[in-house]
Amino acid sequence: MTDSAKPTLMVVDGHSLAYRAFFALPVENFTTKDNQHTNAIYGFLSMLVNLIKAERPTHMAIAFDTSRHSFRTDEYPEYKATRSETPSEFKGQIPLLHDCLAAMSIPVLTKEGIEADDILATLSVQGSAQGYDVLLVSGDRDTIQLVNDEVTLLYPSVQGVSQLKRYDPVAVQERYGVRPEQYPDIAALVGETSDNLPGVPKVGEKTAVKWLTQFGSLDELLERAEEIKGVVGGNLREHMDDVRRNRKLNRLLIDVELPVGPADLAVAPIDAQAVRDIFARLEFRTLLPRVFEAVGATDEPVHDEPAVQVPVPVESAPAEFAAWLPAQTGELGLTLVTAGGRVTRIGVAGETELREGDWSDEMADALRAWLESDAGKVLNDAKKQVKALLRERIRLGGLRYDTLLAGWLMRPSFPDKTLAHLVDRYLGEKLPEADPSQLVPETDGATPAQEAWFTLRAAVALREAMPESVTAVLTDIELPALLVLADMEAAGVAVSHDVLSTFSGELLTRTDGLAAEAFALVGREFNLGSPKQLQEVLFEDLQLPKTRKTKTGYSTDAAVLADLQESHPHPFLALLLQHREATKLRQIIESLDSAIGKNGAIPDDHRIHTTYVQTGSQTGRLSSTDPNLQNIPVRTEESRRIRSAFEVGEGYETLLTADYSQIEMRIMAHLSGDAGLIEAFNSGEDLHRFVGARVFGVEPEEVTSAMRTKVKAMSYGLVYGLSAFGLSKQLRIEQAEAKKLMLEYFARFGAVRDYLRASVLQAKEDGYTETIFGRRRPFPDLSSPNRVLRENAERAALNAPIQGSAADIMKIALNRIHADLRKGGLGSRVLLQIHDELVVEIAPGEWDRVEQIVRTQMAGAADLSVPLDVQVGAGRDWNEAAH
DNA sequence: ATCCAGACGTA
DNA sequence: CGTACGTCTGGATG
């Protein structure tokens, strides 16, 4: 940091520094889950943050080359011609780096035909003329010529990108033995291999410096070249043209026409939300706080406007509170503070008047009528509060809006997680929050009624911003589903501890035995659960061939082990696979067992109460956590024993399971209008048999199980944007055969391909996909210049309307079933939703009526051009009911 | 304590 | 080089 009052202009050669970072940081450690490399971006930003912190520039810009072509290549086509092709892994990172810099409000400067260093040169001359201290950051030695009393160069040292050497005129003199402006003369004599500029043979830095000192200037030297004796003298005389050319090319332009000057480059506040978004996408976690720290912002929603005047709530006793409510017109914001699943405080907000008070039995009695009434209410993250009210035997009525759900529907890929974020984004205001790091907080957090007030106002802004079709999804699908999910979570599902622990005991005996056998085979004990130790055993002790590479070594996953077993059979492999399987089951059992009676269970209910995260997916599906009941094993006979622990609860008669068969394929038939596929579903024939017959040109009864497997994989793969490569991998067939299979398939079901293509194109045009019911998902990456990003987005965009429509249909069915059960005064209740399956607990004597309701509402949830087929089963436990 | 990678369960 | 999720473990980090 300088003591002077002079402003500091920092100009960075983005390309050269990002390129150094690209080679300096191991790509294995910098790859996102969708395979986007980020090492250059990370390294560059990391260094930039350090620079900003250390140098505190008042003005800043990053210059980039536009392409390899420049005025220098026009003059000398061989310029930089020996450089190897820029790796595409690097090029792909540049647009993303630009996005990061834009979010950080740092100007990026480029100019066609001009190299970044020329921009540095021009700005450095302008800057020093206009009274700035200039800091240049570049990995290109040509920039040394720009150094003077006002201009300092930071140059990456050999040790690494994070180490920058500071060159002022003295440092240049020390390092190179000449004044900065003479450096290009040396470079011209010595040549620059990396730029493909040959110099004088046998002349290095030492000789060049000696000559220049002796003759005073390059011109003088060339003039009097005859005076130099020996071989080098001859060389110099032979290569005078090369030297002149080099000197011409390494002279940086100081008069590039730029749209901005130093004064326009004043450091601006960063767009905190944009930075959070792009860093989330790049999976930069540790970098985020460093950025905020460096620019002096906090990692909290920021805004420029002064804090709004928040009305002061009136602390109200039950009777007074109850009397106030009916006098209010229009919707009210509502916030229930909960702790341990119980209501502790309530706040209600109109536009200007706010009321709140502690929860008590008296308060519950006083407010019950209003809470249960159809009077309009707006909440943020209502489900938890609805559940807490259920425990007070209050059923919330009049739920008109949930800002958290609305925020998710607006941006399903980056849902705002808290009211504070929503208030920041949609109101541009800051929700008062107590600083938890301070013993005596400077600022008080918002009270419940104040949160309700912000919620109410955020809802207004969200309604304004939300497209009509999305609003329909919110009011017709999501808000009713929220209430159903609250009931399902509160109900929980009965799980037998005895069944689980018996099974777990058996598995423990087995895993111990398998481990002992495995250790005997290997000759030592180790941790079978450690991929790292396992690699030592497989590839060193047992000398098995190396498998697919991962970030940290070689893969030991099940598919790889199965391949190994085929090519290099070894008894250890089978033991390992069995051990893995049994261990996995034990883990699942253990986590289920420990979840019994938790999360809002009433004492000794022996039930598991999962939490459905309504905003948990980008497509519209639910997710289930704590524990996840949507991934309970089903594929193997043995694993289904876990399902048999899910039992019908006391006071109920049986479990009913109902699932949609091939709902995604049916949606694809509907959306594509493919006549063959529609016929398949209307024919009543087994889908894969029907498709197999068409694809292979045989009668349905002649479709072999191998054929059926192939078309089945193909059909399902279609929904995910499968490639011939992926299909060949899954079916373990040649790529050529997979390609042929795809061609045959599309020859028969061409409208499917047409639809998939058109749907991605449409998404590219709109910037988002849409389900049958109007749920949207934005896909900005469909037009990304980065191939990895773009192709990933294309597959996701292909899948989103299909998976999303299926999710919509299930939610609609769920809502209607729930409504019918209540309307019919039935005691039966829906317990679980597993994407295309429902589990219902049937009260005594209600089977027939409930089965009728479930079948009707599931089949009738959408009017497609193919029927929605529903399979129903019954049993004392989940496994039995699934048959 | 917290984060990440690898592995694996579901639709 | 097939979409959408959550959870567990070991191992490295602070």
Closest residue to C3 measured CA to C1′: A720
**Distance B9 C1' – A633 CA (angstroms):** 6
Contact A334, A355 (CB under 8 A): no
Is the distance between the Cβ of A285 and the closest atom of strand B smaller than 7 Å? yes
**In this predicted structure, what is the pLDDT of residue A90?**
83
**Distance C2 C1' – A629 CA (angstroms):** 23
**In this predicted structure, what is the pLDDT of residue A131?**
92
Is the distance between the Cβ of A549 and the closest atom of strand B smaller than 7 Å? no
Q: Which nucleotides of C are covered by protein (CB under 7 A)?
A: 1-12
Handedness of CA A102, A106, A107, A110 (dihedral sign): negative
Closest residue to C6 measured CA to C1′: A628
**Distance C3 C1' – A630 CA (angstroms):** 16
Q: Which residues contact A763 (CB under 8 A, 6 or more apart)?
A: A769, A779, A782, A797
Is the distance between the Cβ of A632 and the closest atom of strand B smaller than 7 Å? yes
Task: Map out the domains of chain A as residue ranges.
Answer: 8-169+253-292, 314-466
Nucleotide nearest to A552 (CA to C1'): B5
Is the distance between the Cβ of A551 and the closest atom of strand B smaller than 7 Å? yes
**Residue ranges for chain A with pLDDT beneath 70:** 1-4, 26-29, 33-35, 82, 84, 158-163, 197, 297-307, 435-443
Closest to A634 measured CA to CA, from A626, A646, A625, A624 = A646
Nucleotide nearest to A721 (CA to C1'): C2
Contact A756, A454 (CB under 8 A): no
Is the distance between the Cβ of A527 and the closest atom of strand B smaller than 7 Å? no
**In this predicted structure, what is the pLDDT of residue A423?**
95
**Distance C8 C1' – A830 CA (angstroms):** 29
Closest residue to C10 measured CA to C1′: A530
Closest to A246 measured CA to CA, from A315, A198, A301 = A198
Binding residues for strand C (Cβ < 7 Å): A 34-35, 527, 529-530, 532-533, 587, 590-591, 613, 616-619, 621, 623-628, 630-631, 713, 716-717, 720-723, 725-726, 729-730, 792, 795-796, 799-800, 803
User: Helices in A203-317 by DSSP H: which ranges?
Assistant: 205-215, 218-223, 230-238, 240-249, 272-282, 287-294
Closest residue to B10 measured CA to C1′: A631
Rounded (10°) CA dihedral A503, A508, A513, A516: 160
**In this predicted structure, what is the pLDDT of residue A2?**
44
Contact A608, A592 (CB under 8 A): yes
**In this predicted structure, what is the pLDDT of residue A878?**
97
**In this predicted structure, what is the pLDDT of residue A208?**
85
Q: How far apart are CA A501 and CA A642, in angstroms?
A: 10
**Distance C6 C1' – A878 CA (angstroms):** 21
Q: Is A675 helix (H, G, I), strand (E, B) or coil?
A: helix
A21-57 pLDDT tens trace: 877 776 666 777 666 788 888 888 888 887 888 889 9
- For residue A416, give both structure tokens: 């705002």
Is the distance between the Cβ of A616 and the closest atom of strand B smaller than 7 Å? no
**Distance C7 C1' – A114 CA (angstroms):** 52
Q: How far apart are CA A404 and CA A417, in angstroms?
A: 7
**Distance B10 C1' – A648 CA (angstroms):** 22
Closest residue to B9 measured CA to C1′: A631
Is the distance between the Cβ of A625 and the closest atom of strand B smaller than 7 Å? no
**Distance C1 C1' – A412 CA (angstroms):** 26
Closest residue to B11 measured CA to C1′: A835
**Distance B5 C1' – A537 CA (angstroms):** 19
Q: How far apart are CA A801 and CA A391, in angstroms?
A: 37
A314-466 belongs to which CATH class? alpha beta
A123-166 pLDDT tens trace: 999 999 999 999 999 988 889 999 999 999 988 876 544 567 88
Is the distance between the Cβ of A532 and the closest atom of strand B smaller than 7 Å? no
Q: Which nucleotides of B are covered by protein (CB under 7 A)?
A: 3-11
**Distance B3 C1' – A285 CA (angstroms):** 10
Contact A608, A600 (CB under 8 A): no
Q: Is A43 helix (H, G, I), strand (E, B) or coil?
A: helix
**Distance C5 C1' – A362 CA (angstroms):** 43
Q: How far apart are CA A459 and CA A453, in angstroms?
A: 10
Nucleotide nearest to A548 (CA to C1'): B6
- The CATH superfamily assigned to A8-169+253-292 is 5'-nuclease (3.40.50.1010)
Q: How far apart are CA A544 and CA A228, in angstroms?
A: 66
Closest residue to B8 measured CA to C1′: A584
Using CA atoms, how far residue A726 sits from A714, A718, A722, A739, A758, in Å, is 10, 11, 6, 10, 22
Q: How far apart are CA A106 and CA A494, in angstroms?
A: 57
Closest residue to B4 measured CA to C1′: A29
Nucleotide nearest to A631 (CA to C1'): B10
**Distance B9 C1' – A631 CA (angstroms):** 5
End-to-end Cα spacing for chain A: 74
**Distance B5 C1' – A136 CA (angstroms):** 39
Using CA atoms, how far residue A136 sits from A109, A122, A127, A141, A217, in Å, is 14, 11, 11, 12, 26
Nucleotide nearest to A28 (CA to C1'): B5
Is the distance between the Cβ of A634 and the closest atom of strand B smaller than 7 Å? yes
Provide the residue count of chain A: 883
Rg (CA), chain A: 34
**Distance B3 C1' – A781 CA (angstroms):** 28
